[in-house]
Amino acid sequence: MDGSSRGCPRKTGIGGVLGDKNGCVLALFLGSMGEGDAANAGLLAIENGLEIFANYGWVGLGVNTLSFESDPMLSIS
């Protein structure tokens, strides 16, 4: 999952891939998130990924683990 911004603050976009432990893609997402900065966009991407995971009901299908690959230092700071 990742987010980007064209300046600070400017229009931001997010995107991500949710997959299982075997590398199979379960969902893709992307979109514009209005104005903000790159750190905010990264957090919005993580939030969006969590919402997709929670709303799809994959836990009942044996997908009960979620891990993130992103730019954590930018999102955390």
pLDDT at 5: 57
Q: Is residue 69 part of a domain?
A: no
Sign of the Cα pseudo-torsion (38, 15, 24, 67, in order): positive
Q: Per residue of the chain (77 residues), what is the pLDDT tens digit?
A: 556 556 567 788 888 888 877 788 888 898 888 887 777 788 888 888 888 888 877 666 666 666 667 665 555 55
**Total domain count for the chain?**
1
pTM for the full model?
Answer: 0.71
Q: What is the DSSP letter of 58?
A: G
Q: Which residues form the domain of 14?
A: 10-56
Q: Is residue 30 part of a domain?
A: yes
Q: Give the helix, strand, coil percentages of the chain, each rounded to 5.
A: 35, 35, 30
